[in-house]
Structure formats: structure tokens, C-alpha cells
Amino acid sequence: MNFIALFFDHFCDMADTKYKRILLKLSGEALMGDQQYGIDNSRLMQYGEEIKAITDQGIEVAIVIGGGNIFRGIQTVGSMIDRVQGDHMGMLATVINSLSLQSALESIGVSTRLQTAIKMEQIAEPFIRRKAVRHLEKGRVVIFGAGTGNPYFTTDTAASLRAIEIEADVILKGTRVDGIYTADPEKDATATKFDQLSFAEAISKNLNVMDMTAFTLCQENEVPIIVFDMNKPGNLKRVIEGERIGTLVEV
């Protein structure tokens, strides 16, 4: 295939997508798969393939991943571990997950960069906004580790902050349920799903989309959020192409 044909195919792929630059938020718990703890390699590779499928279409992808499969700072409440120390432990857990995802992506030919909010030069680049944007423009997947680098802030807040900083078109929150419900669908069989909500509606209904700091950041900066089932193969690509799956939250 010659260069002109390759360029034409790439242009057609981009024409079929709704977003150019996204921030994908993944939970650490999702990496456990069917395990009770740690990282499930098959789930890790599934996510890697899903991400590769959209980068192959020319989508610029940034990722924030939690650390709940290893450690959550909130676990220290009521324990002998200081909350600030506990939150720092949680940040390190996100770096472990980020390294594992980086390794999975690079094993299938996806160029990546890991940037952390806490300096650890032997492992990753420090977070520098301009460098992150430049990496994205060059087609590299950028993974943001260690949250915001500050205690008392969740990885949801980190995802919102980074999305705003890199001017992402949307935050895609990949979960194990297919959207936002009136209650936890895994516990309440009568829970009903919302296809679309405004930020004001989500706040008034007290829906657990993200923590309030993250949610407010998105609302004030008009960054839409789509909550969808990341574990269903092909869903990430379908969201990118504009298919109405999951739940859309916007101003």
C-alpha cells in the first residue's frame, strides 16, 4: 500500500470518530478481573487491545488509572496509618498499575509515556503539561500516575484535572457497569439506567458519578463525561465513534 492510500485510510478512520483527544479513566479494581486482589493479566491485555484499536484510528489517548486493586488511601481511616501517608501509599499503587498498563500496551506495539505527579525519574517522566500534549500530538498514549500528587484528592479528581489541562474532548470513565443508574444495579434489581444527564441533574439526584471535586471541575470547564462498561469488548471503540452507549453527563 502506498503513502497516499495509507493517508486516505487514516483520514477515513478519523472521519468516523466523534472525538480527537480523550482522557480514559480506569479503576484499579477493574484490573483484578475475577481475582480478589492484584492484576489479572487477561484483563490487562484486553484493555490494551481496546486502547490500541482506537489509537490505530488516530485518536489521542491519555489515561488515569486508580490503585484500589492494591491499596486505597481511605483504607487507613481508623487505622494506625496516618491519612496523608495512606494517600501517598495509594498514589504509589496507581504507579504500579500505570507501569503494568504501559508494559501491556508496549508489548502490542503502542508507543507510550508515563508521567507521574510525584517525581521518580528512574521510572517515569514528571508531569509537564506541554510535554504531555506534545506526546499526544505524536501519537503516544500518555499515562498519568500518582493522582494529583496531593493527599485528600481522588484519582477521579486527577482525571478531571488532567483532562482540563490537556484540553481533552471528553472523559470516558470505564467501569464494570454500563452507565449511571438510580441505584447500584449490582445490589438493587429495580435500579434504572440514565442515558443522558446534565451535571445539575446528577448533583440534584445525588448520583455517585465521581466525587464532588472532580464533578465540579468538569461542570465548570464544560468537559463531558461518559460512563460505560469497559469490560465489554469493542465498547471503547463504539463510544469513540459516537454510538450512544453508557450514560452521557454534560452541561
Q: 228 has which bridge partners? A: 174
Kindly state the average pLDDT of the residues 36-61: 96
Band (pLDDT 50/70/90 cuts) for residue 73 is low
pLDDT in tens, 109-142: 999 999 999 999 999 999 999 999 999 999 999 9
Percentage of the chain exceeding pLDDT 90: 77
SS3 of the chain: helix, strand, coil, percent, to 5? 40, 20, 40
In whole angstroms, give the CA distance from residue 212 to residue 231: 25
User: Does the predicted model carry a pTM greater than 0.85?
Assistant: yes
Task: Assess contact for 4 and 25: CB atoms under 8 A.
Answer: no
| Cβ–Cβ under 8 Å, residues 187 and 133 | no
Residue type, position 34, single letter: D
Closest CA to 46 of 21, 60, 62, 26: 26
The predicted pLDDT at position 165 comes to 98
Question: What pLDDT score does 11 carry?
Answer: 45
The residues with which 225 forms a beta bridge, in sequence order, are 171, 249
Specify the pLDDT at position 56: 97
Span 139-187, pLDDT tens digits: 999 999 999 999 999 999 999 999 999 999 999 999 988 999 998 888 8
Using one digit for the tens of pLDDT, what is the confidence trace for 182-217?
988 888 989 999 999 999 998 888 888 888 899 999
Sign of the Cα pseudo-torsion (251, 167, 159, 226, in order):
positive
3-state secondary structure of 96: helix
Contact (Cβ atoms closer than 8 angstroms) between residue 201 and residue 225: no
Where b means 16+ CB within 10 Å and e means fewer, 23-55 reads: bbbbbbbbbbbeeeeebeeebbebbbebbbebb
Average pLDDT rounded to a whole number, residues 48-54: 97
* Residue with grid cell 475475577, as numbered in its chain: 34
Residue 163: C-alpha distances to residues 63, 105, 207 (Å): 9, 21, 21
Tell me 178's DSSP state: S
- Say whether pLDDT at 235 is over 80: yes
Q: Model confidence at 2, in pLDDT bands (50, 70, 90)?
A: low
